Amino acid sequence: MGVPMARRLLEAGCDVAIHSRSKRKELTDLGVAYVATPLELAQQASRILVMLPDLPQLEPMLEGPDSLLAAGQELLIMVGSTSSAVRLRALADGVVKASDGLVEIIDCPVSGGVEGARRGTLSIMVGGRDDQYARAQSALSPCGTVHHLGPLGAGEVTKACNQMIVSATMLALGEATVLAERSGIEPAKLLEVLAGGYAGSTLLDSKKDKLIADSYEPGGIAAYMVKDLGFAADIAEATDTVTVLLPQLQAAYTELVDAGMGDEDLAVVRKFISRRAT
């Protein structure tokens, strides 16, 4: 996700610098500056977008002499990871205290996948104060539509709700494809019909080719859904919400990962359903 988003920012005329495990030649060849440490990144920027799987990958970047905090200057860290709202708030409080208020964190998880990042059509969900949202909106608008959902953590809650719907829809599409094929209906024809009715969706448009081809090169790996649904379950518990579908979704995607399919694209639900024992 980070690479196509960086491309969008660069195309919009932004000055872009990155820190990652590798130099990302596809970006540096376009003029993106690569820096070796988080400290160097913080010295060059007032706003930093973090696109990592979760908070444990961010936390080491906040500690030590080469950290984002070590620059000792004002910085807004925009966390695009799908994470726990509770853990994010705790992390943000710690960062504010450790930096004497110079460094602040907001959440800005995204939906729309790699294709949305390439097209600049992501849905970006921000949780934070009005002034923080304004700074994030001006920085991230080349990547999609930036929504202000409320205070810190509201973006993560919204993303958890999004993932509940995505996981349920994807599982239904996988089951429907297998049912239709075993009934003598070509998957391509089934999905064409579904796309023209109430079952049509952006998700169907994005995943239909993989469902038809039974090919699952990852655009976003299925294993992450277990993590995301866990965050949704935490929110359900915190809000005393007794969900019907959520526990079933958690069980299904845990079974999928246990079956060795977690590193494939989310569309692998078709293969997962087809191989389940009766």
First-residue to last-residue Cα distance in the chain? 37
Which among 23, 97, 159, 210 is annotated as catalytic? Answer: 159
Residue 189 bears catalytic tag? no
CA distance 16 to 45: 9
Q: Please name which of 111, 5, 1, 120 lies closest in space to residue 53, comparing C-alpha atoms.
A: 1
Look-up of token digits 């450790």: 98
Tokens of 185: 């209906």
CA distance 182 to 37: 53
CB count within 10 Å of CB 65 equals 8
- Answer positive or negative: Cα dihedral of 65, 63, 95, 75: positive
Cβ(47)–Cβ(57) below 8 Å:
no
Torsion angles phi and psi, residue 253, rounded to 5: -75, -30
Positions marked active-site: 159
